[in-house]
Amino acid sequence: MERQRRVLASVDEAAAKLGLEPGMTVTHAQSLIPDLTVVDATPSKDEAALLRLALWAIMYSPVVTPDYPDGLFIDVAGSAHLFHGEAALLADLTTRMAHAGITARAAIADTPGCAWAMARYGQASMVPPGGASQAIASLPVAALRLTTATIKSLHEVGIERVAQLASKPRASLSLRFGGEVLLRFDQAIGSVNEALPSLIPPEVPRAELKFAEPIGDPEDLKRVIDKLTNDLCGQLQVRGVGARRLDLVFLRVDNIAQGARIGLSRPHREPRHLAKMLCERLVVIDPGFGIETASLTASWIEALTERQTIGRHVSADSAEVDVSELVDTLSMRLGQNNVFKFSPVESALPERAVKRVSALKGISGAEWPPHLPRPARLFVHPEKIDVIAEMPDHPPRMFRWRNRQHRVAKADGPERMHGEWWVSQADEKLLRDYYRLETADGTRYWVFHNGPPGEAGTWWLHGVGEA
Amino acid sequence: MAQASPPTAIADLRRYLERSVGCEPAAGTLPFGQPAIDVETPGGGLALGHVHEISEGGFAAEYAGLAAIFAAGILARVSGPVLWCLRGRDLFAPALSRVGLSADRVIFCETWKDRDVLPAMEEGLHTRGLAAVVGELTKLSLTASRRLQLAAGASGVTGLIIRRWRNANEREDSEAPSASSTRWRVSPSPSPNTGFDGLYRQHWHLELLRARGGEPHSWIVEACDAAGSIRHVSTVGDRSPAADGQNRALAG
């Protein structure tokens, strides 16, 4: 309802195709489409639904703000790494929304204003760092989050695009249209910071500290983290749970929230370990002019039961060494994919005999066949070697590798490997004869000949250092 | 001179010296099980809870494949999880499993830079309960090696450093002095003739280049067997008839 008139608050895709748009009066719409289905808008229900969506979006970042009536701000600055980068995070978000039946547009940019504009009016969904002003230049002025009245009066003086706005003198703009236009413009390009109050998920363990004087010294922040983790771990202990994910939010004096997030490979409530992990993420925190409030939230918790390791009737041998803390720390520093265990794969080809599995995988007992000699170093790309003298189906007598002639003193082979035709078509013709060669000085090489038996094919060096 | 004084006095003196330089074995020693080698290594084997360096000689030395197998053979004979810090993608795990280091025991972390390997190693050396930490490194400053040595001493976790290089300059770097307890070099050595087709287990020229409280030595050994043990064949410079071993197992 707007001034006693019934207007359309929102239209679906089919209605939009028929030329209906929000803001039209219902009578006008009904005159265009006689059998139009009109449902009364329920803004309070919409708000509640948006709030639920915002709570869900906390899976992406600790700093989420619902932007009523139809938007969400998610500050992913400190958490995108957990999703393998911003682009992957965005893809994940849009896919999940689509699966839930929500038509949504999303964009990532330096500033909330720019992301708002790009999501609603822009073409690209990713704005590179520092590209905010360029990205919004060609957008209509409505992309600046202005009221309908302001947009209308801008249109009246012929200002349609953001770039036109930027070329006008600031003093006259603020005189004519009020401070709003300039503020929104500055927020979008990042010359004025915009504070987003973060939404607090209910019913989650949370610790908070407020400071009389703003703090900013890294040492102070570390002490704050120690205190917060101690508080939080106390709460976790009472509830019998451990944290799988922690969100640390620092609220600065300029009301800007700085967030950091850590993920844990198993539920944890050991303050020392959690504090250490959080301190490593302190690099992403910019304290600015100081921090007034710090909060730590365990946004993902799992049941954790205590286990007795010391005492009578507890054998020392059965206590498995807990390496999860080490794995967490290394995964955070080096990336989750770079901490792993190797596990055997039954495959005819050596390069496929190994796969990477989780570093916390338990004992499987699976091993590679022990009777097959294998090199300790396997070249990712086999290196071509020139074989000087050879008889078909026999190991070479000499080979040239890295501009040096190697005389083969002893050899063993061939070990024939066929391609796995069930894996790929290229494998069908694949046939390798592997030889172990020992040169005069005792160095061992693992070489293979590929090509049909009895014919001259190509020789490759695949590995060195043999057990 | 030394022969004139009673052996107990020497042993006392050695203990005193070890204490005063702070290298008292923290977690015992791991013998190689070969008297000819153990007798020449200080403490009768590899001191656990210390940092040891392994480099490789020979034409394929830059890949340090034999050094990796030598390290794996040592780890196969201790129990507990192992952290292996890689600096490339070329390690082939089946070879480690063949000398007794089970895939279930080894956590790998992979980086491309020495400066990431060092903190990862230190982190591992601080973790009580790990059997050992292996790091593949080019540069190791005196300070960095002292840090690792201190961390190892405090937790009792053994550190093994495999020295790698890609060019002559880096090779020189890898020979700079460090604070590790021992430095070993593994080089290939011709294996004996079998008399028919096939290869014996590989032979190594194993050198103890430097040892705190010991003398450099070198031996010809047979590479690690399925339990991770090396077998002494002869001592370099020693031409006694016992050196020519018999009944060797055929490798592979």
- Taken in order of first residue, the domains within chain B and their CATH numbers are 31-238 (3.40.50.300)
Both A98 and A117 in one domain: the answer is: no
**Three-state DSSP class for B180?**
coil
Quick one: pLDDT band at residue A311, thresholds 50, 70, 90?
low
Q: Is residue A412 part of a domain?
A: yes
Residue B86: closest C-alpha in chain A: A338
The CA-CA-CA angle for residues A293, A295, A298, to 5°, reads 175
| pLDDT for A401 beyond 80 | yes
Q: Which domain holds residue A212?
A: 206-303
Q: Is residue A283 part of a domain?
A: yes
Mean pLDDT over A146-173 rounds to 85
Mean pLDDT over A361-386 rounds to 89
pLDDT of residue A168: 84
Per the CB < 8 A criterion, the answer to whether B134 and B74 are in contact is: no
Question: Which residue shows structure tokens 């365990």?
Answer: A298
Q: Is residue A159 part of a domain?
A: yes
Per the CB < 8 A criterion, the answer to whether A432 and A416 are in contact is: yes
Supply the pTM of this predicted model: 0.67
CA neighbours closer than 13 Å in the CB half-sphere of residue B191: 27
| Chain A residue numbers touching B91 (CB-CB < 8 A) | 376-378
Mean pLDDT over B201-219 rounds to 91
Put simply, whether A321 touches B (Cβ < 8 Å) is: yes
| pLDDT for B169 beyond 70 | yes
Put simply, whether B103 touches A (Cβ < 8 Å) is: yes
How far is the alpha carbon of B202 from chain A, nearest alpha carbon, in Å?
7
Put simply, whether A440 touches B (Cβ < 8 Å) is: yes
pLDDT of residue A35: 83
Mean pLDDT over A420-430 rounds to 83
Per the CB < 8 A criterion, the answer to whether B37 and B23 are in contact is: no
Both A210 and A191 in one domain: the answer is: no
pLDDT of residue B21: 55
| pLDDT for B122 beyond 80 | yes
Q: Which of B64, B193, B202 shows the shortest C-beta gap to A466?
A: B202
Q: Which of A370, A377, A410 shows the shortest C-beta gap to B226?
A: A370
Least confident of A73-82, A328-337, B18-27, B42-51: B18-27
Output the average pLDDT for chain A. 85
**Three-state DSSP class for A383?**
strand
Both A82 and A131 in one domain: the answer is: no
Both A132 and A189 in one domain: the answer is: yes
As a whole number of angstroms, the distance between CA A194 and CA A111 comes to 8
pLDDT of residue B238: 53
| pLDDT for A392 beyond 80 | no
Both A174 and A137 in one domain: the answer is: yes
| pLDDT for B145 beyond 90 | yes
Both A228 and A179 in one domain: the answer is: no
| Chain B residue numbers touching A329 (CB-CB < 8 A) | 123
- Considering its fold, how many domains does chain A have in total? 5
- The domain boundary residue, chosen from A178, A199, A220: A199
How far is the alpha carbon of A457 from chain B, nearest alpha carbon, in Å?
23
pLDDT of residue A226: 94
pLDDT digits (tens, 9 = 90+) for A251-288: 999 888 888 888 888 888 889 989 988 998 888 888 88
Put simply, whether A330 touches B (Cβ < 8 Å) is: yes
pLDDT of residue B6: 59
CATH code at position A19: 3.40.1170.60
Mean pLDDT over A329-335 rounds to 88
| Chain A residue numbers touching B95 (CB-CB < 8 A) | 374-376, 465-467
- The domain boundary residue, chosen from A105, A120, A139: A105
Both A131 and A188 in one domain: the answer is: yes
Q: Is residue A225 part of a domain?
A: yes
pLDDT of residue B252: 34
Q: Is residue A314 part of a domain?
A: no
Per the CB < 8 A criterion, the answer to whether A134 and A105 are in contact is: no
Output the average pLDDT for chain B. 85
Mean pLDDT over A239-247 rounds to 87
In 3D space, the residue among B192, B188, B190 whose CA is nearest the CA of residue B205 turns out to be B188
**Three-state DSSP class for A449?**
strand
Mean pLDDT over B157-175 rounds to 88
| pLDDT for B248 beyond 70 | no
Q: Is residue A323 part of a domain?
A: no
Least confident of A193-202, A222-231, B88-97, B172-181: A193-202
Residues 6+ apart with CB under 8 A from A337: A356
Both A16 and A56 in one domain: the answer is: no
CA A80 vs CA A53, A261, A267, B147, B165: distances in Å: 19, 9, 21, 33, 35
pLDDT digits (tens, 9 = 90+) for B6-28: 567 777 777 676 665 554 445 68
As a whole number of angstroms, the distance between CA B243 and CA B220 comes to 9
As a whole number of angstroms, the distance between CA A24 and CA A6 comes to 9
As a whole number of angstroms, the distance between CA A280 and CA B174 comes to 30
Put simply, whether B64 touches A (Cβ < 8 Å) is: yes
Q: Tell me the percentage of chain A whose pLDDT exceeds 70.
A: 94
- The domain boundary residue, chosen from A272, A303, A334: A303
In 3D space, the residue among B98, B38, B65, B36 whose CA is nearest the CA of residue B188 turns out to be B65
- Quick check: B97 and A365 CB within 8 A? no
Q: Higher model confidence: residue B120 or residue B43?
A: B120
pLDDT digits (tens, 9 = 90+) for A57-73: 888 887 888 888 888 89
Q: Is residue A409 part of a domain?
A: yes
Q: What is the amino acid identity at position A415?
A: E
Mean pLDDT over A328-338 rounds to 88
Q: Is residue A368 part of a domain?
A: no
pLDDT digits (tens, 9 = 90+) for A343-371: 999 888 899 999 999 888 878 888 898 88
- Quick check: B58 and A467 CB within 8 A? no
Bridge partners (DSSP) of residue A344 are A354
